[in-house]
């Protein structure tokens, strides 16, 4: 997709670690004429550039009432996701990571989105015995069946945020530090790097309508070859 065609995009999951960096990087890039943040609550930004973005508040439990919020966009970025611990139960986790994502993607497709980006995870596998990996694999398959003109699924490794890491993340980060120093792309994915990769990928030409982008590919997209 050429730069001149980047007219409009929405972001879902803009309050999470990757979503926060994606919004910041989109503001820097100025690649889209219109950018809309769609979520369950309004964020009061201090940065004047971020204040310019429209925010549409929706109720994910009644998303069908808000289907028009996803209409008439060229690109959709979905960073929505949680963990079983944060969600409170396996059922709540699946509701967010599968049901909400699938429903909003369906409305996005019906509303005209041509290129849909989804942040999944390394190890996603619908046949996994682990809940997190299994649900990620299931939603990847479900999104593929929606037949977007272009679907980009990102499978990052351990997400490294700029802000203060949470307890468990901090511990894992310490364990991974030696490997990160030697070969970062094999163990970690900085959230801001992933955000830039997603934006840069809007201007690449895919080999097929569905692309699964592993961590090495994410790093490469952050440093695109000069034309």
Catalytic residue numbers, as ranges:
132, 136
CB 204 within 8 A of CB 75: no
Q: What is the DSSP string of 53-112?
A: SEEEE--GGGGGGGGGGG-S-SEEEE-----HHHHSSHHHHHIIIIIIHHHHHHHHHHTT
Residue 59, both tokens: 């109720």
| CA of residue 53 relative to chain centroid, distance | 18
Closest to 120 in 3D by CA, of 137, 104, 103, 106: 137
Q: What is the DSSP letter of 14?
A: T
3-class secondary structure, 215: helix
Chain centre to alpha carbon of residue 92: 19
Rounded to an integer, what is the distance from CA 9 to the centroid of its chain?
13
């Amino acid at each position: 997709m050429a730069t001149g065609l980047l007219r409009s995009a929405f972001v879902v999951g803009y309050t999470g670690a990757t979503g926060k960096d994606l919004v910041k990087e989109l503001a820097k890039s100025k690649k889209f004429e219109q950018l809309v943040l769609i979520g369950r609550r309004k964020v009061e930004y201090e940065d004047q550039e971020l204040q310019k973005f429209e925010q549409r508040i929706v109720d994910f439990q009644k998303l069908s009432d808000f289907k028009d919020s996803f209409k008439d966009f060229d690109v959709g970025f979905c960073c929505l996701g949680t963990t079983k611990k944060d969600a409170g139960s396996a059922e709540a986790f699946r509701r967010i990571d599968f049901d909400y994502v699938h429903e909003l993607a369906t409305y996005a497709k019906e509303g005209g989105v041509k290129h849909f980006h989804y942040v999944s995870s390394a190890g996603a596998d619908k046949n996994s015995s682990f809940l997190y990996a299994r649900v990620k694999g299931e939603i990847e398959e479900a999104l593929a069946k929606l037949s977007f003109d272009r679907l980009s699924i990102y499978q990052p490794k351990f997400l490294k945020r700029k802000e203060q890491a949470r307890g468990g993340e901090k511990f894992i980060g310490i364990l991974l530090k030696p490997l990160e120093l030697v070969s970062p792309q094999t163990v970690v994915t900085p959230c801001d790097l992933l955000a830039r990769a997603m934006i840069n990928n809007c201007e690449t030409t895919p080999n097929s309508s569905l692309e699964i982008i592993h961590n090495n590919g994410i790093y490469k997209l952050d440093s695109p070859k000069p034309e």
